[in-house]
Amino acid sequence: MDKDYIYDRAMKGLFAIAALTGYYFAVNGYNKDPKLYYGLILSVIFAAAGYYAKKKRDHYRMIDMLKKSWPKQIEKKRYLKFVGGYFYKKCEQNSEQIIDDQTWDDLDMDEVYTLLDRNLTTAGEHVLYDMLRRPKSDRKELIERDKIIDNIIKNVELRQQLQVALNYTGRLRETDIVELLYNDMEVQFHKKIICNIMAAMPIAILFTIPIFKEFVIFLEILVFAINCYLHISYTKEKGRFSVTAMRYLTDIINTAGSISKINEPLLNEQLSKLKVLYNKCKSMARSASGVGIQEGIDVIGDYFRLMFLFEERNFYKVIDDIKKLKNELFELYGIVGEIDALISIASYREDIKEYSKPNFCADPRKLVLKQVRHPLIENAVANDLQLDSKGVLLTGSNMSGKSTFLRTVGVNAVLAQTIYTVTAEEYTASFFNIVTSISPSDNIMSGKSYYLGEAEAMLRIIKSCSNDMPVLCIIDEIFRGTNPTERISASSQILKYLSEHNALAIVATHDLELTELLKDQYQCYYFTEEVDSEEGLKFDYKIRKGVSPTRNALKLLRYLGYPESIVRAAEKSI
């Protein structure tokens, strides 16, 4: 029998006994027999026991829900415009190697992030995004991360302990907690002083009873009226800050406290830090829990809080605490998010099953891929690629799979250096700085042409080249926005430069002339297809060594039903 069922029955039974005991006391309580008062005590005891049973029932129901959802992808609304905030704020503090915005967009990494995101908290969502945009170049760091992920998969009890704590925290919807932690939060000092003085007045007035006697009650009413006015006026002051984010921060701190009590050697570093940070921040959590309390549920409590400006004083204390503990809060938030993100990665691994771990080598520019697949494509065709110092010129007709293959290589390189997971049978490579130019665009509003966008993207890649770390540059249709003569001339010189400056370039092109001009620096691979008038295009999406022997542009026009005179004339002019 399930534990949640047992506790559910116990809860209902205990609450029923408490209600009956209380009713019996209410009916017979006027009798002077003192034994009847024991009934009231028993009623309270049974009610407390029922509440305990309810908590246990909810706990086991949550565990059951977590078991059923593991390791499935979570269907939830994602607030991607807020998810990147944590990453960008960290970028302001340090200059670590990152995946830049162009590369992130080129590789459709928002979709990859969505596939990986099984986080239970907003902190986890933030940290997973940050993790994917900060590739590591230290094998030891990645192996330590991998050990924790593997342990989360194997140790079900540990995983459930962590998930239960994280699930109680939940997600913050449509509010950015990073803004609360990082923005300068200045309040008008005189309002804070007035608030503290007026909160003390109801008690201070009581000491004037010998002087004012019966008029004291009128003074108390006057102070209550003033405090009601202050409460209303301070609503605008509080509106400048997210009270929801403040309360969520309280949940994060309390979750940190719960997680820090777990005993797990592989998480010892994170748990030790959490314990220290929690002890520093727990008083702030208590204050924040008194901010944003819903009014109207407890009328007597509402009057009490109004009289002593309870919420306003807590609000100002929380603002002061956030300013003082900004670094500690940000570190605590990051550790809680890291644990949630690692659980999310473990879930992804368990879900897809077919993955491997990368091998990193000391060779300066090496990339070996066996049966590599794109993680976003169901039943994707797998391909092999082996590069050692020389880059690749990738030819082939339209829609044959060149751009998808470029993204497959790029995404797996990112996943290898961030979550130590690849969708391939083997991934052996150097550590790379990963930079792409796949989808540069024009910008009508800024007056920027497509070619200018391409030129800026290529300059960005050139500037990323250094002797410190090889660059994996992935380029689709270099300079497609200009004329063939200048495109081939500029492209050949840029690709030579990249090859000579510690870059491993994988370049898709329709310019077959480049394969001859760059034969000493680049290997040639291609994709191909078949086109006929009945079945149309047939692709196998398999990469082959050499230069593409086919073209399909005119065949595609014929298949689509273009006038035969146009197609034949075009074929004659080639």
What is the DSSP code string of 147-209? HHHHHHHH-HHHHHHHHHHHHHH----S--HHHHHHS-----HHHHHHHHHHHHHHHHHHTTH
SS3 label, residue 436 = strand
Listed residue (395, 350, 417) closest to 513, CA to CA: 395
DSSP secondary structure of 300-320: HHHHHHHHTTHHHHHHHHHHH
| % of the chain beyond a pLDDT of 90 | 43
Whole-number pLDDT of residue 386: 95
β pairing state of 529-532 and 536-539: antiparallel
Alpha-carbon distances, residue 471 vs 78, 125, 178, 221 (angstroms): 32, 28, 32, 73
pLDDT exceeds 60 at position 558: yes
Sequence spans of domains, the chain:
3-69, 106-185+241-353, 359-572
Confidence of residue 122 (pLDDT cuts 50, 70, 90): very high
d(CA 228, CA 309): 9
**Domain 359-572, what architecture?**
3-Layer(aba) Sandwich (3.40)
d(CA 396, CA 550): 7
Among 257-261, 284-288, 290-294, 421-425, the minimum mean pLDDT is found in: 290-294
Predicted structure pTM score? 0.87
Confidence of residue 26 (pLDDT cuts 50, 70, 90): low
Listed residue (437, 434, 438) closest to 412, CA to CA: 434
d(CA 48, CA 531): 76
> How long is the chain?
574
At 433, which helix (H) or strand (E)? strand 433-437
The pair of structure tokens assigned to 96 is 């670590």
Summarised one tens digit per residue, pLDDT across range 460-483 is 999 998 768 999 999 998 888 788
Map tokens 């990738």 to a residue: 394
Whole-number pLDDT of residue 346: 97
Summarised one tens digit per residue, pLDDT across range 308-361 is 788 888 888 888 888 888 889 999 999 999 999 999 999 999 999 899 999 999
Q: Vertex 338, ends 332 and 340: CA angle to 5°?
A: 110
CB count in 10 Å sphere of residue 202: 17
* Burial bucket for residue 497 (CB in 10 Å: 0-12, 13-18, 19+): middle
Helix axes 450-464, 484-500, angle to 10 degrees: 10
Same fold yes or no, 106-185+241-353 and 359-572: no
The pair of structure tokens assigned to 124 is 């986890």
Whole-number pLDDT of residue 30: 54
Alpha-carbon distances, residue 188 vs 192, 232, 238, 239, 444 (angstroms): 7, 16, 11, 14, 44
Pair 476, 403: CB distance under 8 Å: yes
The pair of structure tokens assigned to 177 is 């907690």
Whole-number pLDDT of residue 252: 93
> Could you tell me how far CA 144 lies from the centroid of its own chain?
20
Cis peptide before 71 (omega within 30 of 0): yes
d(CA 336, CA 344): 13
The pair of structure tokens assigned to 280 is 């520093």
Confidence of residue 446 (pLDDT cuts 50, 70, 90): very low
Summarised one tens digit per residue, pLDDT across range 518-529 is 999 999 999 987
Among 67-81, 108-122, 132-146, the minimum mean pLDDT is found in: 67-81
Pair 402, 508: CB distance under 8 Å: yes
Whole-number pLDDT of residue 98: 92
Confidence of residue 364 (pLDDT cuts 50, 70, 90): confident
Among 48-62, 91-105, 249-263, the minimum mean pLDDT is found in: 48-62
At 123, which helix (H) or strand (E)? helix 122-132
Q: How many helices (H) and strands (E) does the chain have?
A: 24, 12
The pair of structure tokens assigned to 445 is 């509003």
Whole-number pLDDT of residue 75: 83
Listed residue (223, 218, 187) closest to 312, CA to CA: 187
**Mean predicted confidence (pLDDT) in 235-263:** 84
d(CA 202, CA 97): 58
**Greater pLDDT, 240 or 423:** 423
d(CA 25, CA 8): 26
Pair 112, 68: CB distance under 8 Å: no
Summarised one tens digit per residue, pLDDT across range 148-170 is 999 999 999 999 999 999 998 88
Among 24-28, 53-57, 381-385, 446-450, the minimum mean pLDDT is found in: 446-450
Average pLDDT, the chain: 86
**Greater pLDDT, 329 or 192:** 329
Whole-number pLDDT of residue 286: 83
Pair 435, 472: CB distance under 8 Å: yes
Whole-number pLDDT of residue 177: 83
β pairing state of 433-437 and 426-429: unpaired
Q: Which CATH class is domain 106-185+241-353?
A: mainly alpha
d(CA 510, CA 397): 8
pLDDT exceeds 50 at position 444: no
Most confidently predicted of 21-35, 257-271, 559-573: 257-271
Most confidently predicted of 43-52, 201-210, 273-282: 273-282
Whole-number pLDDT of residue 304: 79
